[in-house]
A and B are shown apart, each in its own frame.
Chain A
Amino acid sequence: MSEVFKEGVITFDSASKKEILSFFGKILDEEGYLVEFDNPLQRVITPDREEIKLNEFAGIRKGSEIYIKSDLPSLIMLVDSLK
């Protein structure tokens, strides 16, 4: 197991994104952004207050569920959060 994921990690393939999101009560709105299933007007945001499209969605981590984007700066912040 890699050093950065000392506590473990569970992975999913890109084809499973929508299913994974549904497990956490999230769906997509008409523009392809992640929204709350029970409140489709409420878009999911990252800690930096960014909305997330399906192709940008990279995962979820602890912190009342923090949604992770797939860009480099977001993954660097993930590295920091795992320290």
Chain B
Amino acid sequence: MVSLEILNKLTHLFKININIDKSTHINLNSKNAFTDKYYFSDKDNVLSINLNQLTPEEKTQISQILRKSVEDGIPLLEEKAKEITEDIFLKEHSSEEIPILEFFRDKISNDDYTALRASLYLRNRFREGAKRQEIDSLKTGIIQKYGKRGRNISDLCSAGYFEAFMNITKTMNIEGFSELYESIVGKGALTIFVSDMISPNQLIQEISKRINTNRKYGGAGVIQIHGIGRTNIETIKIAMDTIEDTFLKLIVKTSLENGFMVVTIKF
């Protein structure tokens, strides 16, 4: 949907005689899927403009139309970004996400809150069966923006910690909540939160990497692995069988209570 002013300008520029109105979607492309300057799809109500077929003068006019359009508050977006933005909006208004978002909205920092929203979207896409490449790309975006803290929030979210957190902290005051929240989210390099996005092999690699890195630089000799739920606990057990066979001189302590497993490895 765009303003009538923009549509009138486009109609005039290309001498369009078809029935477009303000619900018509405008798409600009350069893939030469069609050879004319524009193509109107009745079925989808989309007006596609082929930038490759425009004269320099027409491009100048399109440029003016687009700049005015942005100035008037109509964003100009890459197709994929538009799809993701719409998807984010839909999911954030779902009955599953509204309670989580409302609970954490005023309790955590703006950055953490945005990282949580991004992580919830990531988790949704994983559950929908998105390809590994997409999942990795989305997660990279969170980590690049929010660093280790973003990674923690993403892993905690995938592992179901935020829902568990909601239940545990419902009766806490804000100071108690903040202390507990920070003790978990701020844990960082020494803790791995296992989710169904991590396979036993990936967990083995992650634990091995941290042990080797820490030993190499003489760093802290403690790692904790957290998991909630049967599947994640099973992943941890499988991984730990290999880790204990691979590395010497490990002291491993395991606790399992109410579906939470915590494995502490000292080395």
Using CB atoms and an 8 Å cutoff, list the residues of chain A in contact with chain B.
1-5, 7-17, 19-20, 22-24, 57-62, 65, 68, 70-79, 82
Contact = CB atoms under 8 A, between A and B. Distances in A.
B28 A20 contact: yes
Contacts of B74: 7-10, 62
A78 B31 CA distance: 27
Nearest to A65: B70
B51 A19 contact: yes
Contacts of B146: 73
A72 B84 CA distance: 8
B85 A79 contact: yes
Interface in B1-56: 1-3, 6, 22-23, 25-31, 51
Contact of A75 (B6, B26, B84): B84
Given A20-B66, A71-B145, A14 B78 contact: yes
B144 interface: yes
Interface residues of B, number: 52
Given A9-B75, A78-B75, A71 B144 contact: yes
Nearest to B121: A72
Nearest to A80: B114
B62 interface: yes
A1 B122 contact: no
A62 B76 CA distance: 9
B141 interface: yes
A10 B63 contact: no
Contact of A9 (B22, B23, B77, B142): B77
A79 B87 CA distance: 10
In the complex, the 7 A-B pairs of residues with the closest C-beta atoms, listed nearest first = A71-B141, A59-B77, A23-B63, A58-B81, A4-B89, A72-B118, A61-B75
Interface in B106-156: 114-115, 117-118, 121-122, 138, 140-142, 144-146
If over half of A's interface residues share one DSSP class (helix, strand or loop), that class is named, otherwise mixed; here it is: mixed
B114 A77 contact: yes
Contacts of B85: 4-5, 75, 78-79
A57 B76 CA distance: 11
Contacts of A60: 70, 75-76
B82 interface: yes
A59 B76 contact: yes
B141 A11 contact: no
B2 A10 contact: yes
Interface string B225-250: 00000000000000000000000000
B80 interface: yes
B21 to A, nearest CB: 12
Contacts of A5: 1, 75, 82, 85-86
Contact of A11 (B25, B67, B72): B25
28 contacts: A1-B25, A4-B86, A5-B75, A5-B85, A7-B1, A10-B26, A10-B27, A10-B76, A13-B28, A13-B78, A13-B79, A16-B51, A19-B30, A23-B63, A23-B66, A24-B66, A24-B67, A61-B76, A62-B71, A68-B77, A70-B78, A71-B145, A72-B121, A73-B141, A75-B84, A75-B88, A76-B118, A78-B85
A3 to B, nearest CB: 7
